[in-house]
Structure 1
């Protein structure tokens, strides 16, 4: 990654090629900020999700969009980020204090206390007692004010790299971000992994254009409607664009699958989280009644979901324990 103060270079955008933001005596380009967002230092091991910093940065961008001068007290961030981690983080618990402190090292965030600039550490008591506040780094705030499109680009980079597309709008709503509809691919570069555009057609064909969970197979003018190709192991976490990592799902069950309400157990049967609560007849019929039901598809001769991808989804996305199903269902959802 290029450091601050290196020779400026830019990317095509609304302000033209080579857009450069000058803050203080250094020169930081739009690309520099996008690279910082893309390369947040995160704990990583064998595909384990750690979206704590991306969630905090998205939250901070949303607050900046609402009020550029706003400072974020740790006491407020703690409650909001904890809820975001519950909804969009991995099943294991964690404390918001870690990203609040450690995001400073990425050059996009600053922490202040009554003693001035600097974080007191990751201790929750210290952060509360010192009345710590956080906000986007000064140079980044200047850059966002001078180049409004940067906020949209940074947010899209974070969303694309850490979350499936089915969750993007919900996550934006949760952090108060209003993004432009214009597409952005600011970090496209040689060597960057690209999605296989054939993935959707391959997966829908494999499952014969019906939802693998409920069998929905709606069409309009001979075109499928409300059917989507879902990655089991998310693309952002090295999930391949292959049939053995894909499911044809209706829009509802795709969202529930990506939120961890639904999963896949051994025997390729549907897991339903005990944490899901739905009192209506519709919720029972469309969700809880799926418990233990075998997946529909893929058609003979095509590979089922690979055990490694099922295990990743169960450990990194599925919420809590599954509801009781038929005796032959492995309730862990993890291949032996």
Structure 2
């Protein structure tokens, strides 16, 4: 439980609802390396590009380079850093990390226990995922970090730490409520689909993520099709307080399908829930715009 508690405390570095998953991303990358190649030091100069890509894809819109977490993660007791000749880390400056041929590695006792106990490793990965990212991103993140994907699917952690971090309650009926509120249609494109009596391809998308006190209620949730849910959580799509859909200028799509399903959404009005159901709260919309959406938005029309 000691290691789970230490990993969970990484989440406390966030303030005011801001996303700061960079230590978690570095740990996931290191665990992926541990699974694939065994316990070996990770050279900053050889890893910087891979971490840059990982941070850009799964971090918040405000980009942070890997030098800061590479150095500062050592303060959490899970990671060690040293120069190529065994000296202390020269700091979080990128040029000094390269010049000193700085290496990082998981703390030896931490790595040893994870290698000896696959269940613990799976729990560690699951805590890092659950306390930093929406579930729709877990499999993509495991693939990008090199973590065996079955870890994210099979690990369960009922309680991270005794008296742990405050969490908003999950509502097991939220999908049914959202489907009713949005008349079983995607709020972005209007898609509906059934097989027998089952609705398919429609999901609950949260504006403010559950890991950051986002609640399972009407003020924080939308009904989106699987495609638009994934793009919403990746920051390709967003909405503004006026109810208009925005599309990231960073998104590139050259086919007719990309235009029809993504680019042409820019400027459209989000389908509201049926009368009598609460609309998304502008505070949750603002959180998604600041912490997830990859601005600036494309010009509509």
Q: Tell me the TM-score normalized by structure 1.
A: 0.85
User: Is contact 1:111–1:134 with CA below 8 Å preserved after alignment?
Assistant: yes
**Structure 1 residue 266 displacement after superposition:** 2.8
Q: 2:116 aligns with which of 123, 146, 159?
A: 146
In 2, Cα distance between equivalents of 1:215 and 1:122? 48
In structure 2, what is the equivalent of residue 277 of structure 1? 252
Distance 1:281 1:230, change over 3 A: same
| SS of residue matched to 1:134 | strand
Matched residue count? 296
Q: 1:293 aligns with which of 268, 271, 284?
A: 268
In structure 1, what is the equivalent of residue 60 of structure 2? 90
Confirm or deny that 1:182 pairs with 2:154. Answer: yes
Give 1 or 2: higher helix fraction: 2
In 2, Cα distance between equivalents of 1:141 and 1:99? 18
Q: 1:254 aligns with which of 215, 219, 229?
A: 229
Distance 1:122 1:61, change over 3 A: same
In 2, Cα distance between equivalents of 1:92 and 1:176? 24
User: Is contact 1:110–1:118 with CA below 8 Å preserved after alignment?
Assistant: no
User: Is contact 1:232–1:239 with CA below 8 Å preserved after alignment?
Assistant: yes
**Structure 1 residue 42 displacement after superposition:** 5.2
Aligned structure 1 segments of 4 or more residues deviating by more than 2 angstroms: 41-45, 179-183, 186-194
Structure 2, unpaired ranges of 5+: none
**Structure 1 residue 43 displacement after superposition:** 3.7
User: Is contact 1:272–1:287 with CA below 8 Å preserved after alignment?
Assistant: yes
Q: Tell me the TM-score normalized by structure 2.
A: 0.94
In structure 1, what is the equivalent of residue 210 of structure 2? 235
**Structure 1 residue 137 displacement after superposition:** 0.5
In structure 2, what is the equivalent of residue 325 of structure 1? 300
In 2, Cα distance between equivalents of 1:186 and 1:131? 41
| SS of residue matched to 2:10 | coil
User: Is contact 1:34–1:186 with CA below 8 Å preserved after alignment?
Assistant: no
Q: How well do the aligned residues superpose, as a CA RMSD in angstroms?
A: 1.5
Structure with greater Cα Rg: 1
Structure 1, unpaired ranges of 5+: 1-30, 327-336
